[in-house]
Amino acid sequence: MQVLLVYTTKTGVTRDIAHMISRKLKTPLCLKCEKDTRAEDLEVFDHVIIGAPLYMGHVRKLMRNFVYKHRDLLKKKHLYMFVVGADHDLDVEKYLRMSFPASVMDHVSVMSHVGGEFRFENASPLGRYIMKTVSEEKMRKDKREVKIKEESIDAFVQGIEHHFKKETDSQD
């Protein structure tokens, strides 16, 4: 079983979550940033996990472009997607469907929102100013702490492992 996890990140949060998933999943996986992943790299894998941070209500543009560019290859794979974002109780499927083509979304077996973080220290001075405005606005609407949700990562990993097992059982 060949597994690729491809992510994009602006301030490093999705990358850290990708590494957590890689440590938790029993099956070894190949971890790559979207800008280092070409069509030839995708060919090798039958399972692809996609890590997608949210910015202004959409998946970050670099990942939207990546999925759109490789949609014909991706729809031949078993797909799993995790969304990284500061909002609470967000409708994961709605956000993913707004960002990615339906032909790809129809092949997603497991999807999850795994929380997020505001990493001021990794933003540029302008980015930090925008982040402060966005985080204050979000805190006004919902006082809950913005953080990576380890329990959601565990549930996501379990969902993937369950799907792997179904796949191997059906091949026996």
Ligand X SMILES: Cc1cc2nc3c(=O)[nH]c(=O)nc-3n(C[C@H](O)[C@H](O)[C@H](O)COP(=O)(O)O)c2cc1C
Shortest Cβ distance from residue 166 to ligand X (Å)?
A: 30
Give, as ranges, the residues between 55 and 114 that touch ligand X (CB under 6 A): 55-57, 84-87, 90
- Count, in order, helices (H) and strands (E) of the chain: 8, 6
CA dihedral 137, 13, 53, 78 (to 10 degrees): -150
Shortest Cβ distance from residue 64 to ligand X (Å)?
A: 13
- Token pair for 34: 């979207």
Contacts of 41 (CB under 8 A, 6+ apart): 4, 32
78 forms beta bridges with 47
By beta-carbon proximity to ligand X, the closer residue of 26 and 94 is 94
**In the set 9, 37, 99, 112, which binds ligand X (CB under 6 A)?**
9
**In the set 5, 54, 59, 74, which binds ligand X (CB under 6 A)?**
54
**In the set 13, 25, 67, 74, which binds ligand X (CB under 6 A)?**
13
